[in-house]
Chains A and B, each alone.
Chain A
């Protein structure tokens, strides 16, 4: 089983719609969680950290469910520029080590 698993998609989303997707992680002791965004043939860029209480950043909302070991990302009012691959990222060791483990990514295509 992979440490971090994601639905590869693609999720085809009409412009203005809401899209949500999850990822699951296998290490129950994982400490830190992130969503990164990666455009085609570009480097990953940090989108947002994911906190236990859930957090919002503009149109983006991230949730963490430790009991079920999954993280979610919701995008409201989708824009064409939201088309990208979204990488779920877990730091299994927290402060003891900063080695991030990446999922395979979920591809989102926002269409007019």
Chain B
């Protein structure tokens, strides 16, 4: 089955700096890679996703890159703000139904 590894497990950045989270996946058949933000006591919220037919996608301060050859994808948050503090999960989908999640990255933005 698919195995998703995520690094780092914790990330502390100064407000205004950039944050980068990296994930690798094992199943070359995976074709959909969403990123979720989870705030304390809430469910995962989709913030951005990328499909295997593109290499990069950007939405305001958030961007995701995908390297299919190396089987890794990354989340980039620029100009971080305190409200970006949360747990971020990457995930990969290798079949029609199942998402496999990474272990999560706790991001803390210091004011």
B is a partner of A: no
Q: Which residues of B contact A (CB under 8 A)?
A: none
Q: Which residues of A contact B (CB under 8 A)?
A: none
